Every structure is written in C-alpha cells, then in structure tokens.
Amino acid sequence: MRTRERPSEIRRLAAPLARGLDAAWQRMHWWVAAMIVLYAVSGTTIVKQDEVAVVLRWGKLAGATPALQEHGPGLLFSFPRPIDRVVRVPVKHVSELIVGTLSAALPDEDADPYSGSLDPVNQGYAVTGDQNIVHADIVARYRVRDAAEWAFYGPVANDVLRVEVTAALVRSLGEMGVDRVLAEGRKDLIAIATKRAQEGLDACRSGLELSSLELTRLAPPVALAPDFDAVQSAFIGAETRRKDAQAYAATIIPQAQAETEAATQGVRGAAERDLAIARGDAATFLALNREYRANPMVVGERLYRDAVERALGRAGSIRWVPPPAGGRYNGFRITVPGFGQAVGTPAAEDEDAPPR
C-alpha cells in the first residue's frame, strides 16, 4: 500500500496565491485584453499638415531612402515603444532663436555707463578687421529642411545653430572695417554671415535651413559710444554733402548743356543766315556786273537814279528851289542850315563859278 506524499511547503504557500490569481483572471481578463490592445495601437500617430514624421526603430532610422524615411500628413502606424519612436518635425514652421553670444551685458542703472571696461568673461564681443570691438545681438530665423537629419539632433539643434551663427558672424566681422560695418556695409555683413552659417549647418548635417539673420543691435562698447557717434555723424554729414553735390551737378550740368546747345544752334543759325545773305548779295552783284558789262550807260543811269532815290527817301524833308531866269544857279551855293549860310544865299566867290 502506497503512502500519500505530503505536499511541499512551497506548494502549500503558493496555493492561496494561485487561487487569488485565478479568481482575478475570471473577473478581470477583459481588462488585460484591453490593455494589450491599447499597447498594440499606441504606435499610431496623427501627423499634422505642417509636419513630417520619421520613425526610429530600435534607435535606427527606418527606411532605406529619404522618400521612405519621411511620412507626410495623416495617420502613421508603427510599432509601440520601445520598438519604434515617432518624431514629428514641423517642417513648414519658421522658428526664431536669439543668439546673444556676442552681446554685451547691460550696465547697472546706478553705474556710470562710460566708466567701466570690457569684461571678456561675462560680455560677448567680436573684433573687426581694423582691430575695433563691437557687440551684436542677433535673431536667427530658421526652419527644418531635412526631417531625418534633424531627428537625430532634436533640441540640441538650437545649440548647433547658435554656434554656427556666432562663428560665421565673428569671421565676417573680422574681414570688414568698423566704419563699413556700422554704416553701409551691414547688408553685406548679414549676407556673408548667413551664407557661411548655412554652410556650417550643412556640414554638420543639422537638417536646418536659415531663413534670415537680423542684427537687432550692432554697436561699439558703451564707453566708446560717444566717439563712434561723432565719427558716424561726420561720415553722415560728408555723405549728405556728397549727395547734395551730386544732385546739384545732376541739375546744373543738363542746364548748362541745354544752354550750350541753344547757343550753338543760335550761332549756327546766324552763320547760315549771314552766309545766305552774303551769297545773295554776291549773286546780285555778279548779275549786275554782267548787265553793266553788257550795257554800261543804262545800268549806270539806273544805279544813279536808285542812289538818289535812296538818299532822298532818308531825308526828313525836301525843298525845291526854282532856278532863276536862264535856268542856271549861277552864283548860288547850297549849304546845310546850321553849318553856314542858308539855302540859296549868294556866294562870295566868283559869279562865274559853276553851281554847287
């Protein structure tokens, strides 16, 4: 006859636990099933219109090509964590980052702003090409261009952007003089710094694209501000006078050219008129000369009559003195009143002298 083996102590202690688990399963098995289902669908993500999603599977980017790595707006089904991690990237949103690495700390209200010196530990600065110090406050506007590259940086992408923008601006300032930087060269400075910063972001595969750089403040140290302002005012005054001179030249030169052209045209017209008159007189003289050579008596008489008519036509008044008996003016002299005897007075000369 076999003897019954006594249950072990472990089984005796585990029996109540097993009965409790069995009873819990009988009452809550549908809760467990629901939790399993919720866990399975927890990898589903809604990608918004301005976003692109990438999936990191076991820490590695899922997809062999960029087209397969990036997922557009809509529902995205993936495995739950820790298998997959979905990163949504706002590719159409333009963000701003304030870069204050080259900014100077503002002085205390009670302190004299022109008495202190630059603290290179606590204050940022850059050196221009002519060994002058300037401070700059920058606002960088950017967006995510490559979602796959940006997903590996995440929040540290701002640190990368800050470093690249600072390095690009320091290098660009070191190639330009302070007068140009503070005056007309600011636009060129921003363009060169933006290009260099973008090259640095591309080299480190940050996935970011710079939209613009804005210099909200670019100024010399506070202690030297009055001197720089004086130089700047002198430069602006010289530039204003230069532009005024250019404007005056642009006004007076065309006027002088117009007057010169008018005078030239007038002289040319007078020359052409005088030349035409001279040619006409010459042609008249040549024609008269030909007539005179052909019939000198007739032409001479006509010229004489024409000369007498012109002389009489210019006279103020004409008085005819009838001749004495016999038809001669013997013993008479015709003079101009006021210069001698009156018209028709007897002459003291010989009576047989011919009339004058």
pLDDT at 303: 83
- The pLDDT value recorded for residue 203 is 86
- 344 falls in which pLDDT band (50, 70, 90)? very low
What does the domain layout of the chain look like in residue ranges?
26-89, 95-106+120-220, 225-315
pLDDT-derived band at 243 (thresholds 50, 70, 90) equals very high
Q: What's the mean pLDDT when you consider all of the chain?
A: 76
pLDDT computed for residue 140 by the predictor: 92
Residue 50 has pLDDT above 60, yes or no: yes
Euclidean distance between CA atoms 322 and 39, whole angstroms: 153
Fold of 95-106+120-220: Tetrahydropterin Synthase; Chain A (3.30.479)
Percent of the chain with pLDDT over 90: 16
Residue 349 has pLDDT above 60, yes or no: no
- Spell out the residues 6+ positions from residue 292 whose beta carbon is closer than 8 angstroms to its own: 299, 300
Higher pLDDT, 263 or 334: 263
Question: What does the pLDDT read at residue 339?
Answer: 38
Over the stretch 111-166, which tens digit does the pLDDT of each residue have?
Answer: 444 445 666 767 788 888 888 888 889 999 988 887 777 776 655 778 888 999 99
pLDDT at 342 over 60: no
Could you tell me the sign of the dihedral formed by the alpha carbons of 116, 122, 126, 127, in that order?
A: positive
Total-model pTM: 0.50
Q: Is the pLDDT assigned to residue 81 strictly greater than 60? A: yes
Please, what's the b/e burial string for 119-142 (b: 16 or more CB within 10 A of its CB; e: otherwise)? eeeebbbbebeeebbbbbbbebeb
Query: Which helix H or strand E contains 279, and what residues bound it?
Result: helix 225-294
How far is residue 105's CA from residue 102's CA, in Å, rounded to a whole number?
A: 10
325 or 135, higher pLDDT: 135
pLDDT of residue 272: 92
